[in-house]
Amino acid sequence: MNIPEFLTVFPKMGKVDYLAFKKAIDGAFRQFSRAYGDSIESFFDPVLYFLVNLEKLLQNTPWPIVIMVFLLLIYYGSRSIYLTVGSLAAFLFIAYFGMWQDTMSTVSIIGVCTLLAIGLGIPIGILMSGSDRVRSAVVPILDIMQTMPSFVYLIPVVMLLGIGKIPGLLAIIIYAIPPMIRLTDLGIREVDKEVLEAADAFGANRIQKLFRVQLPLALPTIFAGINQTIMMALAMVVIASMIGVRGLGQPVLKAISNQYLTMGLLNGFAIVVLAVIFDRVSQSFGKRLQQHRAGSRE
């Protein structure tokens, strides 16, 4: 039996055309980078300035002060003595094994990324919750951001902005912002229709409804989003190190390529410890906000 060739071999693009296609896109990107690289870079200068100085501040302040400030923040956030003492032990472990400087670098970039992700993600989530059309446009973009292998977009970013903090920051935010947006949208959409009708009946306008009714009721879900965003940002630490972001990722890379088991484990654990602290504090802070509301309603 003879199967016709067009059934067994997919009629693919010719080699020459494919080459021309690849070259055209590469060339266009290169021209774009030549023309606009500088101005895009200067657009990010304020963020870079802030990041560099935050890192310097954390690294140059004497460690007991930094630890004290962190512990105060943790206690204020969680109101839990156990968590505070546990965090103290974790910080001492990190510092004793010589990972303090790297940890401070990681904390500074993760902190800034989380703040930016919250600052950008909540408004986008609000917009999405208000319009089904916006939602159907944004959701596929979020899917791409979460599943596209990081290096696919990292290399163009590096060619545009060089290596270091800003490309790292972009990579982390691209990966970490989707849960923030999704859960803000979800939280607002889940607010009871009847509650909104009641607000309408009291003559609340759109802004009042949003800030007095929808956002407060969506807060637990939004906090789950913040929590997820922090976790995903920490998961990107090693990838970010591959384009020159200082922090705990670099010793991990060094350990991987030299097969230094202990070094890899210690730095890996430092990332885990940071994640656990961030996670517990943000969760219990979110829970307390809820309790407070439940209490005042009764």
Stretch that binds another protein, among 63-71, 82-90, 95-103, 240-248 (CB under 8 A): 240-248
**Shortest reach from residue 266's CB to another protein, in Å:** 15
**Shortest reach from residue 151's CB to another protein, in Å:** 7
Query: Is 235 among the residues that bind another protein (CB under 8 A)?
Result: no
Stretch that binds another protein, among 34-42, 74-82, 104-112, 125-133 (CB under 8 A): 34-42
Whole-number Å distance between alpha carbons of 138 and 245: 29
Whole-number Å distance between alpha carbons of 166 and 161: 7
Query: Considering Cα of 157, then 160, then 164, then 166, what sign does the dihedral take?
Result: negative
Query: Is 38 among the residues that bind another protein (CB under 8 A)?
Result: yes
By rule CB under 8 A, what string of x and - marks binding of each residue 81-120 to another protein?
----------------------------------------
The correct pick among 251, 267, 273, 274 for binding another protein (CB under 8 A) is: 251
Query: Is 33 among the residues that bind another protein (CB under 8 A)?
Result: yes
Q: How many angstroms separate the first and last alpha carbons of the chain?
A: 80
Stretch that binds another protein, among 30-38, 131-139, 193-201, 207-215 (CB under 8 A): 30-38
Please count the residues of this chain forming the interface with another protein, following the rule CB under 8 A. Answer: 39
**Shortest reach from residue 86's CB to another protein, in Å:** 30
The correct pick among 122, 245, 266, 271 for binding another protein (CB under 8 A) is: 245
Largest CA distance in the chain: 81
Whole-number Å distance between alpha carbons of 68 and 66: 5
At residue 262's C-alpha, the angle toward residues 261 and 264, to 5°, is 70
Query: Is 17 among the residues that bind another protein (CB under 8 A)?
Result: no
Query: Is 258 among the residues that bind another protein (CB under 8 A)?
Result: yes
**Shortest reach from residue 31's CB to another protein, in Å:** 9
Count of beta carbons in the 10 Å neighbourhood of residue 81: 9
Whole-number Å distance between alpha carbons of 230 and 114: 6
The correct pick among 84, 103, 129, 250 for binding another protein (CB under 8 A) is: 250
Query: 10-19: buried (b, 16+ CB within 10 Å) or exposed (e) per residue?
Result: eeeeeeeeee
**Shortest reach from residue 32's CB to another protein, in Å:** 10
Scan residues 163-182 and list those touching another protein (CB under 8 A). 163-165
Specify the residue, 158 or 222, whose C-beta has the smaller distance to another protein: 158
279, two tokens? 């996670």
Scan residues 124-163 and list those touching another protein (CB under 8 A). 151, 154-155, 158-163
Q: What are phi and psi of 79, to 5 degrees?
A: 55, 35
Helix 81-96 with 100-130: angle, nearest 10 deg: 130
| CA-closest candidate to residue 122, choices 173, 169, 182 | 182
Cβ-count burial of 58 within 10 angstroms (0-12 exposed, 13-18 middle, 19+ buried)? buried
Q: Is 79 helix (H, G, I), strand (E, B) or coil?
A: coil
| Interacting residues toward another protein by CB under 8 A | 19, 22-23, 26, 30, 33-34, 37-38, 48-49, 52, 151, 154-155, 158-165, 241-246, 249-251, 253-259
